[in-house]
Amino acid sequence: MAVANLSLNHQVLCFRASYSRTEPWLPSAGATLFKFPKNARFSSAVTCSSSTSQPQEANTQTAESCVNTGLQLFSKGRVKEALNQFETALTLNPNSVEAQAALYNKACCHAYRGEGKKAADCLRLALREYNLKFGTILNDPDLASFRALPEFKELQEEARLGGEDIGYSFRRDLKLISEVQAPFRGVRRFFSVALSAAAGISLFFTVPRLIRAIQGGEGAPDLIETAQNVAINIGGIIVLVAIFLWDNKKEEEQLAQISRDETLSRLPLRLSTNRVVELVQLRDTVRPVILAGKKETIALAIQKAEKFRTELVRRGVLLIPVIWGEGREPQVEKKGFGASPMAATALPSIGEDFEKRAQSITAKSRLKAEVRLKAEVVSPAEWERWIRDQQKSEGVTPGEDVYIILRLDGRVRRSGKGMPDWQQIVKELPPMEALLSKLER
């Protein structure tokens, strides 16, 4: 869920998922569990809830005590009462850490209740006023239902565009990745600006000469030559500005794709052994092939894939079927919150370092041994929303049957309408032990 127990000196939060504990952690008097999460690509500030709090005086309420009480109530599935505690905490003159914790946990409550707009408002305020990191929102499984809503898409778009008000660090990190993928864009921009400035200065001195040439008279410059110089300068400025604007447009498109790739990397799925992992944890291990469409279409595609099973497994292909509308089916009411019990035991702690989560839930060799030809999506609404966003970016009508093949490094290799030709894929993809596969990692 959200932020765990607040320390008595208000310096740090406890980061741990309440549903990842099997037994409560009981601190000694005055003790607090200090855990600083780090994120290799997107740094996070707060994550999931704890199940303990320091004892409070009977009639004393502070922002800290209300947050801790709210966390306990949320862990027991008493979401409405927890929500009241977080709202109360915001009225008790909280410091920045307590306010961030209260707002973030309040957003988790609203997400659990299906109140997307209220959840977005809380998260927006925490991002703007209390330095919440957007990567936290991407990571938390208790916000999975929120990430499938249009309100999350709007919030993510705001963060991608960046600015002082919201998500500046998110955009900065996206730009760092973009610069790695397109290293010469900055050089082109520099020369575009420099040459445009030079052409502008030249034009500044050439225009008066053109006026004198048009007026004629003794000592007037040659009209044709001067007009040619002016035309060259104007043409150069137009071309260079066009290149600069084109680079900006391509960068925004690339940032949007990187943002989608980051969202995709955090989508959960269940392997054949019932282990639940995020897609990023299979990076360098498999080539996911996402099949999105009607149930009958996908069933037929998987049946055809079975004929090439041995060769597809040799190439690291992992089929991930996403059936349209499956994410909108009514869910069974849960007594608690977050992931199902089966998923809870397998999900990594959201407070852990992101690179460690990307490297292993278990050793890569063990994880590879658990991968079979097909996996099952967890949180299908999130998967469906991501695929529809990808369809829009590719100019495909959302809702059409499509397939998306990912590279070993997690990026999109190619996509197409309908279902894939398995024989062609076997020819196209090199075996996992081949040199080309090693270069793809």
CATH number of residue 71's parent domain: 1.25.40
Same-domain pairing of 325 and 295: yes
| Tokens matching residue 257 | 């794709």
Does the residue 22 lie in any domain?
no
Does the residue 68 lie in any domain?
yes
Tell me the C-alpha distance between 37 and 46, whole Å: 8
What pLDDT does residue 293 have? Answer: 92
Same-domain pairing of 92 and 113: yes
Does the residue 315 lie in any domain?
yes
Same-domain pairing of 138 and 207: no
Q: Work out the number of other CB atoms within 10 angstroms of the CB of residue 407.
A: 17
CB half-sphere exposure, 47, CA atoms < 13 A: 26
Same-domain pairing of 170 and 294: no
Q: Work out the number of other CB atoms within 10 angstroms of the CB of residue 183.
A: 9
Among 249, 266, 283, the domain-final residue is 266
| CB of 336 closer than 8 Å to CB of 76 | yes
Structure confidence by residue, pLDDT tens digits, 137-162: 877 877 877 887 888 888 887 877 76
Among 181, 205, 220, the domain-final residue is 181
Does the residue 345 lie in any domain?
no
Same-domain pairing of 408 and 320: yes
Same-domain pairing of 191 and 305: no
What pLDDT does residue 403 have? Answer: 93
Does the residue 379 lie in any domain?
yes
Among 266, 285, 300, the domain-final residue is 266
Taken as a whole, the chain contains a residue count of: 441
Q: Give the SS3 label for residue 270.
A: strand
What phi and psi values does residue 254 have, to the nearest 5 degrees?
-70, -40
Does the residue 26 lie in any domain?
no
Same-domain pairing of 369 and 316: yes
- Could you tell me how far CA 60 lies from the centroid of its own chain? 40
Same-domain pairing of 285 and 426: yes
Q: Give the SS3 label for residue 77.
A: coil
What is the domain count for the chain?
Answer: 3
Structure confidence by residue, pLDDT tens digits, 371-408: 678 889 888 888 988 888 888 888 888 888 999 999 98
What pLDDT does residue 231 have? Answer: 93
Element (H, E) at 23: none
CATH number at 307 reads: 3.40.30.10
- Which residue positions in the chain have pLDDT lower than 50? 4-58, 329-363
| CB of 137 closer than 8 Å to CB of 143 | yes
Same-domain pairing of 409 and 321: yes
* Structural domain boundaries enclosing 147: 63-181
Same-domain pairing of 204 and 172: no
Q: Which residues contact 407 (CB under 8 A, 6 or more apart)?
A: 287, 413, 440
Same-domain pairing of 151 and 200: no
Same-domain pairing of 75 and 165: yes
Q: Work out the number of other CB atoms within 10 angstroms of the CB of residue 198.
A: 14
Does the residue 11 lie in any domain?
no
Instruction: Report how far apart, in Å, the C-alpha atoms of 412 and of each of 270, 290, 291, 383, 405 are.
Output: 21, 10, 13, 15, 6
Does the residue 155 lie in any domain?
yes
